[in-house]
């Protein structure tokens, strides 16, 4: 897939491991201009981890980009750990990292679960956020989780059937609980096949057109285990969000500028959610990409995200 609309590959100028307590250690990196405008990249999942390609949405001559892997994800340790792994923990981890790096405020950039975490952090610490660039919005509502587990079969019946067939018929009345039992088993013979099946399902539904490259990236064992185990854990606990949900806290960030990028044919996080968020956010600009699904790396989404970041650069 050509990605000429992204900035060139670049290595971090600094990396580190930050102890968080409860046995967790966070991987973090800084990329671009050490004196530049701070921006924080928030990866999806929860549990997916960040990759080198995510650095390429930002002009390295202007931005001081901070990337980190959330608890249990990617290069953070231990992989797939669920102890003390909740949304409030992740919000506090972001504050810990901000203080550690000596940053006053930053722009937030997040897609899918990254948009959820960006909103949760911004609502908890609005004085630390200059704005948000969000993609493929997920608000963690019950209907959105139900859509992922069951509704996607309307458009991806083949992928959904493979997802369901991993579970014995007598357990299919509660797919989430059946997967969670397997994903939290200490036995790799149980948790790795379940993780692959869950992640293959999500990857198969994430692009407008079939993308073997996307499916393969989701199905790698380290990615699959972190993504599937942590995602199922968060789904079981309703994403550890406040009772009123994220829309209930929008008054805290109503003053904040935002760019929302949404694929028209996003099946993982359908466009209705992005429209609901935009309606509740006076300073949000919603861009709907007509020929895209969920993935940040689809051509139209990539172009729109780079343009949104550049608009913040000019503010």
Active site residues: 112, 266, 294
> Sheet harboring 24-32: ordered strands across?
14-21, 24-32, 63-68, 37-42, 106-111, 129-135, 258-263, 284-289
Helix (H) or strand (E) holding 20: strand 14-21
* CA–CA dist 31, 7 (Å, integer): 12
Q: How long a stretch of residues is the chain?
A: 315
Let me know: does 198 contact 224? Beta carbons within 8 Å. Answer: yes
Nearest-5° angle of CA 70, CA 247, CA 45? 25
Tell me the helices (H) and strands (E) count for the chain, helix number first.
10, 8
Is residue 24 helix, strand or coil?
strand
């Amino acid at each position: 897939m050509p990605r000429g609309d992204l900035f060139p590959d670049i290595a971090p100028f600094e990396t580190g491991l930050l102890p968080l307590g409860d046995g967790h250690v966070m991987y973090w990196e800084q990329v671009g201009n050490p004196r530049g405008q701070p921006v924080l990249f928030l990866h999806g999942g929860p549990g997916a981890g960040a990759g080198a390609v995510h650095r390429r949405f930002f002009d390295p001559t202007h931005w001081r980009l901070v990337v980190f892997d959330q608890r249990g994800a990617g290069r953070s340790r231990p992989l797939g750990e669920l102890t003390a792994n909740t949304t409030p923990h992740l919000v506090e981890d972001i504050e810990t990292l901000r203080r550690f790096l000596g940053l006053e405020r930053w722009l937030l950039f997040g897609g899918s679960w990254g948009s959820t975490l960006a909103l949760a952090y911004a609502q908890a610490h609005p004085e630390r956020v200059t704005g948000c660039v969000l993609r493929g919005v997920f608000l963690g509502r019950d209907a959105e989780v139900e859509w992922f587990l069951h509704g996607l079969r309307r458009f991806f019946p083949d992928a959904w059937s493979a997802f369901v067939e991993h579970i014995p018929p007598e357990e299919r009345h509660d797919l989430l609980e059946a997967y969670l039992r397997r994903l939290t088993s200490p036995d790799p013979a149980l948790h790795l096949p379940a993780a692959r099946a869950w992640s293959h399902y999500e990857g198969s539904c994430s692009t407008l057109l079939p993308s073997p490259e996307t499916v393969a990236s989701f199905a790698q064992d380290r990615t699959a285990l972190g993504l599937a185990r942590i995602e199922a854990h968060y789904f079981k606990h309703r994403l550890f969000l406040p009772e009123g949900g994220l829309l209930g806290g929008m008054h805290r960030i109503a003053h904040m500028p935002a760019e929302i990028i949404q694929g028209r044919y996003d099946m993982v996080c359908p466009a209705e959610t992005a429209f609901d968020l935009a309606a509740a956010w006076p300073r949000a600009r919603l861009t709907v990409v007509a020929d895209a699904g969920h993935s940040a790396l689809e051509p139209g989404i990539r172009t729109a995200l780079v343009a949104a970041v550049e608009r913040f650069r000019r503010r």
